[in-house]
Amino acid sequence: MLIYMLFLAAVVLIGIPLCRNRTGKAIYCGIAGVALFVFAAVRKYTGWDYNLYGQYFIDYLKMSVDDIGVHRFEKGIAMPMKILGDVFYMNYQTMFVIYAFLFALMLMLLLWKTSDKPYIGVFFFMTLGLYFNSLNFMRQMLAAFIIVLGMRYIKTNQFFRYLIIVIFASCFHLSALVMIPFYFILKIKLTPVMLGIYSGVGLLVFLFSWEIIQFLTKTFLPKYYSPGDRPTSGELSGGQWPLYTIFFALCLIFVLLFRKRLLEKDPFNNVWIGCMIFGFYFDLISLKHNIVGRLAIPFLLAAAAVILPRTVECLLEWCRKKFRKDKKQITISSAVAVASVAIICVGMYGYMIANNYNGVNPYQTIFGNAVWEDPNKK
């Protein structure tokens, strides 16, 4: 647990003195990106899905290209695995190195484009558990990054470019296709009436979620279909922690409190606030059906990297405006505000680590004494 806490402190705190100008921001993004990359790249047997992906890599080495063509696995993942293994004779650890590089690169690119203080985005990316997700749900995370980076086309009203981005993302995980209608949904102005409608619809979906899940799985995902009144698989039954849902609900309330100011600063924040709302809804439903939580990943990524950092900036602006005649009070109120957010988020981060969220404990590396294992023998 200690190593994760120290790592969080290091990659966040170095940003405070650095991100004072554009040059310092670039230096920070480089340092933090390398740190996030190395920490994930050298891991070994860390994460529930580590051996699963390792087995995929080895299986594809034994398959022909034709076999892969008819295999159900997404081709954006399967074909690169096959090429890497056959052409460069790489072992499956190389796959994790490549994933780690892509995630660090795309996160830093996203934060560079959307924030003057990227270290705040790194803080939320880690404390919301998304860094841990990237050690496991690598297909979903890759698709999520592509989608969130492509959301700029919502701002420019370029639907077909957005559609191409989503289809490309679906090459890595088919769940990305769910994001197509959200091009239109996220553009809807978040008035009190719309928030009420979303809440009502969300409540109905939560209450009748099993019937909806049965219809969707039977129609589109028959391998997950579970007849009867109760789910028969872990993916269709509950799996999300209630405490995490409560935590994200607090984050949502935090954002909604500053909704007016966020929209004044940038009307496109309407889209990012919408991501926050739908991320919460999907997370809420995952209390009953674990599989739905995967649909929340693009929304959680948008929340962590974009709207939550912007909300923190609004909070600090409020402190400066509230006590503009008293510098001491500004300092004290800002410190208390930041400390309150930090304590809640770091507390959740520690809870996840202590409870082995996604199998992140113990953190092991390729430099340790663990014996190399063929995932096919697991």
Nearest to residue 357, comparing CAs of 47, 6, 99, 41? 47
Predicted TM-score (pTM) above 0.75: yes
Kindly report, residue by residue over 334-349, the tens digit of the pLDDT. Answer: 999 999 999 999 999 9
SS3 state of residue 43: strand
The mean of the pLDDT values for the chain is 88
Q: Which helix (H) or strand (E) holds 134?
A: helix 130-134
pLDDT value at residue 375: 46
- Euclidean distance between CA atoms 172 and 83, whole angstroms: 16
Q: How many percent of the chain have pLDDT more than 90?
A: 58
- Asked if residue 374 has pLDDT above 60, the reply is no
Domain residue ranges of the chain, discontinuous segments joined by + = 2-377
In order, the DSSP letters of 298-366 are HHHHHIIIIIHHHHHHHHHHHHHHHTTT-HHHHHHHHHHHHHHHHHHHHHHHHHHHHTTGGG--S--BT
- Are 47 and 358 in contact by the 8 Å Cβ rule? The answer is yes
- Asked if residue 229 has pLDDT above 80, the reply is no
Kindly report, residue by residue over 109-150, the tens digit of the pLDDT. Answer: 999 999 989 999 999 999 999 999 999 988 999 999 999 999
pLDDT value at residue 378: 45
Nearest to residue 119, comparing CAs of 17, 23, 254, 252? 17
- Those residues whose C-beta lies under 8 Å from the C-beta of residue 43, and which sit 6 or more positions away, are 50, 96, 135, 363, 364, 365, 366
pLDDT, mean of residues 347-371: 88
pLDDT value at residue 234: 58
Kindly report, residue by residue over 173-222, the tens digit of the pLDDT. Answer: 888 999 999 999 999 998 889 989 988 998 888 888 878 877 777 776 66
pLDDT value at residue 286: 87
Kindly report, residue by residue over 242-294, the tens digit of the pLDDT. Answer: 899 999 999 999 999 999 999 999 999 999 999 999 999 999 988 888 878 88
pLDDT value at residue 322: 84
Q: Which of the pair, 316 or 59, is modelled with greater confidence?
A: 316
- Radius of gyration of the chain, Cα coordinates, nearest whole angstrom: 21
- Euclidean distance between CA atoms 141 and 273, whole angstroms: 20
- Those residues whose C-beta lies under 8 Å from the C-beta of residue 215, and which sit 6 or more positions away, are none
pLDDT grade, residue 89 (50/70/90)? Answer: low
- Asked if residue 228 has pLDDT above 70, the reply is no
pLDDT value at residue 376: 46
pLDDT value at residue 107: 97
Nearest to residue 28, comparing CAs of 40, 20, 37, 19? 19
pLDDT value at residue 217: 73
- Are 352 and 29 in contact by the 8 Å Cβ rule? The answer is no
Q: By CB neighbour count within 10 A (0-12 exposed, 13-18 middle, 19+ buried), where does 349 fall?
A: buried
- Are 129 and 297 in contact by the 8 Å Cβ rule? The answer is no
pLDDT value at residue 121: 96
- Those residues whose C-beta lies under 8 Å from the C-beta of residue 178, and which sit 6 or more positions away, are 295
Q: Which of the pair, 255 or 92, is modelled with greater confidence?
A: 255
